[in-house]
Structure formats: structure tokens, C-alpha cells
Structure 1
Amino acid sequence: MRFGQRAAAGFATLLLPLAGLVGLAAPAHAAANATATYTRTSDWGTGFGGQWTVRNTGTSALSSWTVEWDFPAGTSVTSAWDADVTSSGTHWTARNKSYNGTLAPGASVSFGFNGAGSGSPSNCRLDGDSCDGTTAPGDAAPSAPGTPTASGVTDTSVTLSWAAATDDKGVKNYDVLRDGKRIATVTATSYTDTGLSAGTDYSYTVQARDTADQTGPAGGAVAVHTTGGGGTGPGGTGGKVKLGYFTEWGIYGRNYNVKNLVTSGSAAKITHINYAFGNVTGGRCAIGDSYADYDKAFTADQSVSGTADTWDQPLRGNFNQLRELKARYPNLKVLWSFGGWTWSGGFADAAKNPAAFAQSCYDLVEDPRWADVFDGIDIDWEYPNACGLTCDTSGAAAFRNVMAALRARFGTQKLVTAATTADGSSGGKIDAADYAGAAPYVDWYNVMTYDFFGAWDAQGPTAPHSPLTSYPGIPQAGFTTADALAEYRAKGVPASKLLIGIGFYGRGWTGVTQDAPGGTATGPAAGTYEQGIEDYKVLRTSCPATGTVAGTAYAHCGGNWWSYDTPATIGSKMAWATSQGLGGAFFWEFSGDTAGGELVSALSSGLS
């Protein structure tokens, strides 16, 4: 994998009020003295208008108010007026504006919003009490229970367990929700759901009820894929893995946000996302870019939910955007990838104490602030017992030992994967580490079948950077996708645990006069972010393909020569992957695609 440039970026907030509404209020002890009611004011199919009305039913003035409610997954507030509206997952909170924070006895006031989706609010609370005014003052709603863990998954059932919620007056029971709908109410902190369909994805959350029958917010969601149904596929996906890398730094100069996965249509066509990268330093997993990861505030137009981040919300940044994405696409799984080209030097220390390294990674990935965001961990070690940016001398067993420790710590309910070399040459990088010995501990390998050739050899010869097969004149034997995957399989790695890699970019030279591969050059071609490399979305029009070689397109325009994959060549590679029984495909990375996601579409449809 490659590491991009970062630059600081600011933001602005949204949810502008409409002037002129009457002042409102909610006390710190409201519900017995006030009520809140909801009205759906309009509906236009893909969205709707909503209005909340707060009424002071007490005998003294109220000085402030807060209304909270839950929306089902897929329903959200896109704009609001006369209240500051924020969200955490599917839980929404509206607070009075500075000009409408007082409400006289008997008076009422409304605030409105526009929404996306078709759901209706539930679990309404006014200043922590029931919105119907029947709950005793000061009785707060329960906290969110812990994110459920799933065990005993079969074709038709799953057992869920969760950490207890807390409440000032005591928790009475728990509502178990499957795909946003309540399926059971239980007093214990566990439940077995039965009557499910084989080979099917489900999402579960739990919310607590107190002795006053107030319902608290739902905890984090756990995704479950039942067994059977024609095979679960790698990682329990029920089919081929379709994985894309999202880079933390892409939100800067590239201006590529998680929301672009929605607007491009890509989120609906993939099964997994690798979030790149976490750091590896001092023998531990560490944050890569804290501002991008969990601090940057996104404006409403940049946000998946359409709601601007606020300064005081518990989680911002890419992590919160991924949480919003998963709420919208509950079957989508996200892994946190650690290492990469720049940070792989840290794996040498990790290999000295694999158990301690695995514990540090678990503690970071499962941090309560974002544990619900990630479904597992990916290790991008470039390269075990071989040279990348730096040279590693940890020994052939180091990679196996690290992956075994990660599986032992993360267990079977989380995904454990690795990005691996595609050097299939005799005595090359595949031969340097025990990939076969590590295979039982991983769900799959992302075999990086690209960057075989490029303008680091400034004078050429020109060659496709991601050849599927060999061809006459190839500069290095064994530097092909087919050779690499054959090498893994010969060592005993199952084909179903191997993913073919696609680059959403091209590599190129300048000073080239020859159209066919094998020409000489004078150096790397100019690129937007780096010499010798350019996104597909640029090359498709700036230097259209003029031929194909070894299953990869190439283009000769002026003095430049580029190689890259197109929808057509991706389709051919996916057909080859299917014929080989591979577990699926992955790509580096989303921002190189067109605004309409045409490469993702080609990869997804080619594996269907």
C-alpha cells in the first residue's frame, strides 16, 4: 500500500435556524412539568418534514429544554430550525436555541426539521424524562447497554450477550432489536434469537428500560451472518469479498470523504472497507492521524447523515463517518489496517513480543469510543523478513507468530486479515516468510498484485504495473498476478483465502516513443500528487488506453506511456479470479475512481 500526503483542513457547521419562532424551554427536571409531541408535517417519498412541539404543563416557567429520540437505521435529520440538532448513531438530540430557551406555564413552542428515509421517532425523552409527562421528575433514562457479542451462530440461530446498562432507579429489562425492529424484551443480559434464515446477514442492538418504562438509547450494533445458505465465503460474507481501501489522509488534498462512498454508489457494491492506516511503533498499534481519525468536524454537506458535527459530540472524524455509513449499510464491515509502506518498520519490534503487540492492537481497535465501528484488524507488513522502505530481519516465523497472536486475542468473532506481497519470483518475498503457516489464523490475504513495474526504473523498459499473466519481454519473471497466487497455493494457502488486488491508478513514464510495452524512457511522467503515478479518473480522459498487454490496459499519448486497469480489464480479471476459486478482490483505493464509481461497479459485477 502507499501512503499519501496530509494537509490541515478546517470546517464549518450547519443547521441554520429559521428566525421568528416563539421562545421555548425545558427544565433540568422536565417531563412531569412538560410534554413533547411529534407531527409528520409532509412527505415526498424519499424524505419528509417533521415537527416537535414542547408544552409547559407546569406552574412555573421553564428555562431550557432538550428533546431526544431514536430513528431506525436509514432515517436521519438533514436540516433543522429553531433547535440545535445532533446525533450519535441512530440517537438524535435537539436543544433549544439561545432565543427560545424560556417557556411560560401553559405555553408551547415548536421546532422543525427535514428528514431522509421513511422511519418515525421512538423512545422520546424530554430533559431525560418521558415525553408524555407521566414520569416522575428527575428520573433519568437508562444508559446504553454494551455492544452485543454473538456466539453459537448456526444456520437458524445466534446467542447474544451484552454488558448491563445503568439507571438511577434501576434497569427493568432490555429490548433486543434485529435490523432496527424489536424482537424480544428480556430481563437477562443475553438472548438467543431463533428462526433465522441460513446464509443471511443480520444486525443486532440492545436498549434498556427502567422501572418507569423509559427506554434508553441503543448500544452499538453487532453484525451476524448465519451459516449455511450455500457457503459463507471468506469472513462469513456469504459470497465473494469485495473490499476497498479508504485512506485517512484522503479527506485533505483529495477531498474524498466517507460520504463519497454513498454518492458514488460504491458503498452498496462492496462488502468490506480497510481503513488505512494505523501506526505501528514501539511494538504497539497506535493512532495514525488523530485529527482525521476522530477529531475533524464535518459539515452537513460532507457528512453521511447530512448533519453537521458539533464541538461537544463524543466522536467526530472519519470514525464517526464510518459509523454513520454502517448505520446506512448494516451489512458493510470495516477493518482497521495497520502499517503500510511508511509504518511497516515498526513490525520488527512487534515481532519480538507478538502477544503484547496483539493486546495493544485489541485495546485500540476495541476502544469504547469507536469499538462498534470496526469488525476486525488488517496487518499491512511490507515486508516480513524482507525489504520494503526498510529491511526486516525478524525471521521466517515472525509473520506467522504475529498473526497467531492476533487471532488468539481477537477471537473468532472478529476478522483478522493481512495485505501481502505479490513477489512470485523464485527466492522472492513470498518465500521469505511462513505465509502458509499463518493462513489458519487469517480470514484472507490481500495479495498486492500491482506495482510490479514503474518509473522507479526511470529509463524503463515500459511495462504494465499490474500484469495478470506473463508475456514475451516481461522485465522480471514471476512478477505477475498468476505467478504470485500460484506460489501461495503451492505453499498450501487455500485459494478461498486469497484476494486479487486492483490498483485504481496508473504508473507511467515520459520520453517514450514506442507504443508497445518494452520502450525506453527518460523518467517518470508527471502526476497530480506524485511523479509516475496518476488516478484512473484522470487517465481515462487525459491519456485513453491504446492497447492491452497481460490483461492490463496501456496508453501512449505524446511522450507519456501509462498502464492502468479499466472497467473492461477489471471485468476480465474478476472472471479469472472466479475461475481460480479465489475468495474475492480488493483495490487501492476509492479516491482514484470516477465520481460515479465505475471501477467499483466493474469489480462488483465481475464477482457477482
Structure 2
Amino acid sequence: MRFRHRLAAGFAALLLPLTGLAGLATPAHAASASTTATATYTRTQDWGSGFEGKWTVKNTGTTTLSSWTVEWDFPSGTSVTSAWDADVTSSGSHWTARNKSWNGSLAPGASVSFGFNGSGSGSPANCRLNGGSCDGGPSVPGDAAPSAPGTPTASGVTETSVKLSWSAATDDKGIKNYDVLRGGSKVATVTGTTYTDTGLTAGTDYSYTVQARDTADQTGPLSGAVAVRTSGGVVDPPPGSKVKLGYFTEWGVYGRNYHVKNLVTSGSASKITHINYAFGNVKNGQCVLDDSYAATDKAYTADQSVSGTADTWDQPLRGNFNQLRQLKAKYPHIKVLYSFGGWTYSGGFGQAAQNPAAFAKSCKAVVEDPRWADVFDGIDIDWEYPNACGLTCDTSGPAAFRNLMSALRAEFGPDYLVTAAITADGSSGGKIDAADYGGAAPYLDWYNVMTYDYFGAFDKDGPTAPHSPLTSYPGIPQAGFNSADAVAKLKSKGVPSAKLLLGIGFYGRGWTGVTQSAPGGAATGAAPGTYEAGIEDYKVLKNSCPATGTVAGTAYAYCGGNWWSYDTPATIGTKMTWAKNQNLGGAFFWEFSGDTSNGELVTAINDGLK
């Protein structure tokens, strides 16, 4: 099963150290009247022991900015712990952020954001932008930017139009007008607080925000976003939309009694974009079907099937594959990938790596078998782990994974999806360092980064810790075991942000014999679980052991001597915001059957990525 893997120890930081880099600094450039700019700050997340902040630099002048430097002071006890999309240094309580080589140039009217994680509770003071005032420099001294307007409300939705209304923003010098943004791009500028957007596509999801502009043409922060789906038929997601992918397990049709139709009855099918069908096996260096009864032979009655039609004894295809075919007919926007490997079946990849072309050819033959060629849109490889240890240890070398991915792309061509589920070990010298994930990235559509199972009762004595921490935190048992460090390391190896999906577990990991509710407690073993000790589905835990706190963006619960960590709709919302701020390609989860009967975790992912 997917969630049985463990990661190795160690840590690799997202950035260079944030202190002691003052010698790298260059003098701040004073802003001229033709190159005025603003810098605005928002605290986007707060998890008690820390927070996430974001600065937005906007060129409000008439000529292009070639670079930018934002400076500010934090009160004692507040500091930056990691940052992205800027080089951040400090001198005492004074902090300086300079543009990266790729985001320094800002055309008139353009803006750029960078973010950071911080500790403490203070807010920035004494902001300076390129040596001038952060509210517009010499051209508008003392003129503050507007506040955010109210989140728009939608009414009068048709197949091609929607009416938006919002409450007014405030400004010390007065509001001039409002920019209306659809999907982050401006579609109109209006003087009132209503706008009707027309020319839309039927059956399509849109997201709207509003931004106020003052009399000096300074823009304030964006309003909250409202999601709108126009009426009409189902269409494919627009290019560039976020991936929302779930794993469907082949064996789930047995003890878990979870079937493809559950995706319909839970409402999840309308909220996802992709399904990974898990798992095909890898034997003798080739892809093979694993459980043919579940995949192709199991007969469904009319009330069990997606289409409402019973299988017959002589039809060419039954089982999960036929149910997936029916699901795609009902929800044509869904793409299905056949996933091979996983924790149990990864031992065969070492032999496959000895002849990548032959392996790829065998996979294509399984995925595109004439009996179900219309069901699958691509292949997913879950190798746990290349040139490292999982259930077994692999010694194929650092190039093996890249070579395998290259062969798969050559065999499947550009019209199929080729993806991979990979380690999230962000430690120095850990599993990400063991294989050439950066070199393989050009051959793949995306990576499913398995940002869960960092900690669990496989260490039976504890300490208790969240199995899916978003960020590091004081007392974390192992440096580098968190989503932020894993994503940062993959980016540093040249993997584009848009090719990284954040992983969410629809289950918890737990210990028993625990005497403290806070993380870091000792334990005596694994907490009881329905199918395996130390593991339990979210749908069970939300009632049997409700969350009592959060740490590093993940919920934890203490009840009756048991300590569990798991994600809830609220923590998933936080993680989706983080994923969007990191410009990730979306999110994936393991796996559907851990969710509630009404799909509340899938809903949280869908809502969070809009």
C-alpha cells in the first residue's frame, strides 16, 4: 500500500542561510518619479507558532524597474525562517529582500510577490522600497494604498455571464476605481461596486477578485475570491488549471467496499481532474496487470454500477476498468492514469532500469490493451525508491530514474500523460539527492510529491509528530522532513513549480501509550487501526478522535492515551493556499476511500485550489 513507506533522515534548506549574508548586499537604488513603486505586506497564514507573510511589489511608474529591494524592521522576537522568490538577509532586526535574477524586471503596471515563513507575532515596520517610501516613493509621500474590497458575490449566473457585487474599499485620499480580475487577469475597470462579466463559456469554472485603486493610482490588496461555474454542459478544465488528482486502489473493492460509483455518490467526481489507478505490478522488468478479477472481471449489478446498467456474463470488459469507462462517459473532463509500483511492487524497477526501452514497451502494451484502450490517458510510475531503500534497496545508480522516464516518454509520445510519484525526503543527502529528478523532469508532466508518512508508529517509542508537516517547527524529530523543504529541494534541482503536486493523506498515523497532548511525547507502540495498527482513515478519526490542535499546518488529536495526526478540511485549506503561493501545479491525495461519504476532503482540495 502506498502509505507504508518511510523516508530517510537529514535536511536541505530552501534558501541560503538568512543571516550572515550582509556581504552579498548591493546598495539600494533610490526611486525616481518615473519609476515609482509600492510594496504592500499581508500575513497570509498563521499557525500559532509561526506565520506566512507575503510582500507584493508593484511598478506604479511609467518606466520599467530593472531591480527591486524591500527593507523592513521586525520587533524583537519576530524573524524570517525561510523565504521564496527573493533573497532575504538580515542585520539584527533589519531585514532586506532582493529580487531573484529572473523576477527583478517590472514593466509599468506589473507586480511581483515573494513570501516567507516567520516565527514570532510582530509585523513589519519602517518599510523602504529601492530606498524610497513603500507607499509610492517621492511622488506620493504619505499616501497609503487602499484597503481590500469585500469579497464579491455572484448573481444572475447564466451560460455566458455573471453579475458581481462587492462592498467598497477605503482609502485616506479616496477611491478612484476598481479592477475586476478573472483568474488573476484584469477584465474590467469600473467606478462602481458592481460588474457584469459576459462572453463566458458554458459549464466552466471561473474565479473573480477585485482590487481598489486610489486617486494616486496605487492599488491595494486583492479581495477574497468568489468561485463561479456557468450553467451548461461539462467541458474540459481550461489549460493551466490546477491538477486535483486522487488515487483509486484496486484492492479497495474488497474489504473497504469502495467502488468507482462511490466517486459519483460522494460528489467527488465533479471536483477532481485526474485519477491514478493503483497499482499495476512490475515483474521481470515489465509492467503487468496485478489483480485481473478486480480490474477486468468483477461483475456489477445495476445499482452498483456508474451507468445504472448491470454487467452481463459475456461482455468483453467488466470490473474497475469498465466502471472507469462509465465514469469518464459521465464526467468527460476526468483523465485516468494507470499507476505501476507502489511500496509493495517497487522491487521490480531495478530490473526494468536495465532495459528501459523494453520496460516502456511493456507498459504501453498494458495501458493500451485493446480491451480498455479508451480508459487510460497515461501512466504513473511509483518507484519507492530509485537508488535508495524502501521495502527493498535499489542500487541502479542516480541516472536510472531519468533513463526510465526518458524511455517512457519516447514510447508513449506527447499525447499521453507520463507522471511519477516520488519521495518527499528534503534532507541533505537523502532520497531526493539519490536520483536525478531534475534531469527526468523534462520527460514528465508532473511529479506527485509524497509529502506524508514523514513520522509514524514505525518508530514505536515516538516522539509523536505530524506525519504530514507542511513546514518545519521547533522540536521536529528530523530536519528536512516537511513539505516546504522537499519542494524547495526539488526546485533547486531545476524542477519547475508547475510540475510539482502537493501530497495529502486521507488518513492519520497514530501512537498509543501517550501521556501528553502536545507533539513530542513518548509512546509505547502503534494505536489501533481498522486495517493496520498505527493507521486510520480520516472518516473514522474525525469522530473517534477529533482534532485538538495543529502543528506545522497539520491537525493532531489526543484521546484515551492515543495520539493521532491527520489533515482536516481546515488544514487542507491552509496547504492549498500554500501550494498556490508556491505556484505548484496542484495537489494529489492518497486515497479516495479514506474520505467521508460526502467527500469533504476532496471538496476542501477543490475549493482550496480554485
Q: What range describes the TM-score normalised by the shorter chain of this pair?
A: 0.5 to 0.7
* Distance (whole Å) between structure 2 residues aligned to residue 300 and residue 3 of structure 1: 33
* Distance (whole Å) between structure 1 residues aligned to residue 563 and residue 576 of structure 2: 25
Q: 1:360 pairs with 362, 367, 376, which one?
A: 362
Q: 1:243 pairs with 239, 242, 245, which one?
A: 245
Q: Relative to structure 1, is the Cα distance of residues 404 and 200 closer, same or farther in structure 2, using a 3 angstrom cutoff?
A: farther
Any idea what SS the aligned residue of 2:547 has?
coil
Q: 1:509 maps to what in 2?
A: 511
Any idea what SS the aligned residue of 1:277 has?
strand
* Distance (whole Å) between structure 1 residues aligned to residue 514 and residue 459 of structure 2: 13
Structure 1 unmatched ranges of 5 or more = 5-195, 202-222, 234-238
Residue 2 (structure 1) aligned with residue 33 (structure 2)? no
* Distance (whole Å) between structure 1 residues aligned to residue 285 and residue 533 of structure 2: 33
Q: 2:293 pairs with 271, 276, 291, which one?
A: 291
Q: 1:350 pairs with 345, 349, 352, which one?
A: 352
Q: 1:571 pairs with 555, 567, 573, which one?
A: 573
* Distance (whole Å) between structure 2 residues aligned to residue 419 and residue 336 of structure 1: 12
Q: Is the 1:423–1:479 Cα contact (8 Å) retained in structure 2? A: yes
Q: 2:533 maps to what in 1?
A: 531
Runs (4 or more) in structure 1 with deviation over 4 Å come to 196-201, 223-226
Q: 1:314 maps to what in 2?
A: 316
- Deviation of 1:2 after TM superposition, in Å, equals 2.0
* Distance (whole Å) between structure 1 residues aligned to residue 604 and residue 326 of structure 2: 26
Listed as ranges, the matches of 1:55-94 within 5 Å are none
Q: 1:369 maps to what in 2?
A: 371
Residue 394 (structure 1) aligned with residue 396 (structure 2)? yes
* Distance (whole Å) between structure 1 residues aligned to residue 288 and residue 201 of structure 2: 39
Q: Relative to structure 1, is the Cα distance of residues 260 and 199 closer, same or farther in structure 2, using a 3 angstrom cutoff?
A: closer
Any idea what SS the aligned residue of 2:276 has?
strand
Q: Is the 1:340–1:381 Cα contact (8 Å) retained in structure 2? A: yes
Across the two proteins, how many residue pairs are aligned to each other? 387
Q: Relative to structure 1, is the Cα distance of residues 548 and 252 closer, same or farther in structure 2, using a 3 angstrom cutoff?
A: same
AA aligned opposite 1:289 = D
* Distance (whole Å) between structure 1 residues aligned to residue 235 and residue 268 of structure 2: 22
Q: Is the 1:199–1:225 Cα contact (8 Å) retained in structure 2? A: no
Q: 2:490 maps to what in 1?
A: 488
Q: 1:304 maps to what in 2?
A: 306
Larger relative contact order (Cα-Cα within 8 Å, sequence gap ≥ 6)? 2
* Distance (whole Å) between structure 2 residues aligned to residue 353 and residue 322 of structure 1: 31
- Deviation of 1:562 after TM superposition, in Å, equals 0.2
- Deviation of 1:306 after TM superposition, in Å, equals 1.1
Q: Relative to structure 1, is the Cα distance of residues 441 and 546 closer, same or farther in structure 2, using a 3 angstrom cutoff?
A: same
Listed as ranges, the matches of 1:267-286 within 5 Å are 267-286=269-288
Any idea what SS the aligned residue of 1:300 has?
coil
Any idea what the Cα deviations from partners look like across 1:253-272, whole Å, max 9, x if unmatched? 00000000000000000000
* Distance (whole Å) between structure 2 residues aligned to residue 401 and residue 342 of structure 1: 22
Residue 591 (structure 1) aligned with residue 593 (structure 2)? yes
* Distance (whole Å) between structure 1 residues aligned to residue 596 and residue 320 of structure 2: 21
Q: 1:404 maps to what in 2?
A: 406
Q: Relative to structure 1, is the Cα distance of residues 298 and 473 closer, same or farther in structure 2, using a 3 angstrom cutoff?
A: same
* Distance (whole Å) between structure 2 residues aligned to residue 224 and residue 460 of structure 1: 48
Q: 1:555 maps to what in 2?
A: 557
Q: 1:330 pairs with 325, 329, 332, which one?
A: 332
Any idea what the Cα deviations from partners look like across 1:277-318, whole Å, max 9, x if unmatched? 000010100001000000110111211011111110010000
Any idea what the Cα deviations from partners look like across 1:417-454, whole Å, max 9, x if unmatched? 00000000000000000000000000000000000000
Q: Is the 1:524–1:532 Cα contact (8 Å) retained in structure 2? A: yes
Listed as ranges, the matches of 1:180-219 within 5 Å are none
Structure 2 unmatched ranges of 5 or more = 5-199, 206-233
- Deviation of 1:225 after TM superposition, in Å, equals 6.4
Any idea what SS the aligned residue of 2:448 has?
strand
Q: Relative to structure 1, is the Cα distance of residues 225 and 298 closer, same or farther in structure 2, using a 3 angstrom cutoff?
A: closer
CA RMSD of superposed structures (Å):
1.9
- Deviation of 1:545 after TM superposition, in Å, equals 0.3
Q: 1:427 maps to what in 2?
A: 429
* Distance (whole Å) between structure 2 residues aligned to residue 393 and residue 287 of structure 1: 25
AA aligned opposite 2:551 = V
- Deviation of 1:198 after TM superposition, in Å, equals 13
- Deviation of 1:197 after TM superposition, in Å, equals 8.4
Any idea what the Cα deviations from partners look like across 1:475-509, whole Å, max 9, x if unmatched? 00000000000000011000000000000000000
AA aligned opposite 2:573 = G
Q: Is the 2:203–2:235 Cα contact (8 Å) retained in structure 1? A: no
Any idea what SS the aligned residue of 1:488 has?
helix
Any idea what SS the aligned residue of 2:571 has?
helix
* Distance (whole Å) between structure 1 residues aligned to residue 314 and residue 280 of structure 2: 25
Q: Is the 1:555–1:563 Cα contact (8 Å) retained in structure 2? A: yes
Q: Relative to structure 1, is the Cα distance of residues 546 and 250 closer, same or farther in structure 2, using a 3 angstrom cutoff?
A: same
Q: Is the 2:235–2:332 Cα contact (8 Å) retained in structure 1? A: no
Q: Is the 1:3–1:342 Cα contact (8 Å) retained in structure 2? A: no
- Deviation of 1:200 after TM superposition, in Å, equals 8.7
Any idea what the Cα deviations from partners look like across 1:11-67, whole Å, max 9, x if unmatched? xxxxxxxxxxxxxxxxxxxxxxxxxxxxxxxxxxxxxxxxxxxxxxxxxxxxxxxxx
* Distance (whole Å) between structure 2 residues aligned to residue 198 and residue 531 of structure 1: 48
Q: Is the 2:467–2:566 Cα contact (8 Å) retained in structure 1? A: yes
Any idea what SS the aligned residue of 1:595 has?
coil
Listed as ranges, the matches of 1:410-449 within 5 Å are 410-449=412-451
Q: Is the 1:508–1:532 Cα contact (8 Å) retained in structure 2? A: yes
AA aligned opposite 2:326 = E
Q: Relative to structure 1, is the Cα distance of residues 516 and 3 closer, same or farther in structure 2, using a 3 angstrom cutoff?
A: closer
AA aligned opposite 2:460 = A
Q: 1:99 maps to what in 2?
A: none
* Distance (whole Å) between structure 2 residues aligned to residue 428 and residue 198 of structure 1: 48
Listed as ranges, the matches of 1:64-143 within 5 Å are none
* Distance (whole Å) between structure 2 residues aligned to residue 566 and residue 256 of structure 1: 21
Q: Relative to structure 1, is the Cα distance of residues 354 and 224 closer, same or farther in structure 2, using a 3 angstrom cutoff?
A: farther
AA aligned opposite 1:425 = S
* Distance (whole Å) between structure 2 residues aligned to residue 499 and residue 274 of structure 1: 13
- Deviation of 1:407 after TM superposition, in Å, equals 0.4
Q: Is the 1:455–1:509 Cα contact (8 Å) retained in structure 2? A: yes
Residue 252 (structure 1) aligned with residue 257 (structure 2)? no
Any idea what the Cα deviations from partners look like across 1:447-485, whole Å, max 9, x if unmatched? 000000000000100000000000011000000000000
* Distance (whole Å) between structure 1 residues aligned to residue 429 and residue 310 of structure 2: 53
Any idea what SS the aligned residue of 2:503 has?
strand
* Distance (whole Å) between structure 2 residues aligned to residue 527 and residue 493 of structure 1: 37
Any idea what the Cα deviations from partners look like across 1:487-542, whole Å, max 9, x if unmatched? 00011000000000000000000000110000000000000000000000000000
Q: Relative to structure 1, is the Cα distance of residues 329 and 199 closer, same or farther in structure 2, using a 3 angstrom cutoff?
A: closer
- Deviation of 1:224 after TM superposition, in Å, equals 10
